[in-house]
Amino acid sequence: MIYVLFDYWDAIRGFFSWVGESAAIMMVLSGLMAITWLGFERKRRGSFTKRKAEEEEFDITKFLRGLSYLGLVLGIFVIWSGVIGLIRNIPPSFEYRDVTEDAANHFTCIFLIVIGITMFMKPISDLPLSSIIGLLAGTATAIIVAVIVPDSAVKLIAGVINPKWLLVIIFIIITVIVALTVKFYVGVLKTISKFLSWPPIAFIIMIFCLVQGFALWIWGVSIFGLNIL
C-alpha cells in the first residue's frame, strides 16, 4: 500500500515537473482556452464587441460551459508553469533551449501567470468567493483557538466572559476582516478577468498565445525577446 502511494506521488511530482518545463505548450493551451472565451462571451453579451452582458438569462451550451470550467484546472497548471519557469529559470521548450538560450523567457512566464489567474477566476466569478473564504478562515481560527488554549486559560477567561461567546466573537471578527480584504483583491482580479475575456481582447490573446506558443515550441524563438529579470 505504501509503495503504491509513493508510486502515485512520483507520478504527480513528475507531471508537475513536466508542466513547469512546458511553458510553450501551456501558451498553446491558453490560446485554445481563449477560443472558448470568444464563444462563451459572445453568446452571453449577444455581440462580439458589446462591453456589458444583458441582465436576463442567456442560454449557453453545456459544451462551452464545461470548457469554461475546465479553465479553472488549466489555470492552475498555467500559473504553475509561469511561476516555476521564473523561479528555476527554465526555458519554455527544449527547442528554445537549443536555439535561443538555456534560460526562462520572462515575458512568457509573466504572461502565463496573468492569463492563468484569469482562467482560474473566470468560472468562479459568480460565486461569493470572499464570503466563502471569510467563513472558512473564521471557522478555522475558532477551531484552532478552541484546541490550543489550555483548560487553565479557559477557566480564567470564564471569569470574564463565556468562552463560547468569545469563540463566536473571534469567528465574526476574523470572518469580516478576511472577507473584506479578500473582496477587494478578488474584485480587482475579477475586473481584469472580465476585461481579458471581452471578445475583441480574447481574440487578440488567442492569436498571441498560439503564435508565441508554437514559435517557442517548434522554432525555439520568442516573438518578444524581452528578458527583464
pLDDT at position 209: 92
Residue 177: CB partners within 8 Å, gap ≥ 6?
A: 134
- Is there a contact between 150 and 116 (Cβ–Cβ < 8 Å)? no
* 172 has a pLDDT exceeding 50: yes
Q: How far apart are CA 201 and CA 38, in angstroms?
A: 9
For residue 194, the SS3 value is: helix
**pLDDT tens, residue by residue, 53-79:** 554 444 555 655 666 678 788 888 999
Q: In sequence order, which residues have a C-beta less than 8 Å from that of residue 153 and are 6 or more positions away?
A: none
pLDDT in tens, 100-118: 888 889 889 999 998 988 8
Percent residues over pLDDT 70 in the chain = 76
Tell me the mean pLDDT in the region 111-129: 75
- Domain spans, the chain: 16-219
Q: How far apart are CA 153 and CA 95, in angstroms?
A: 63
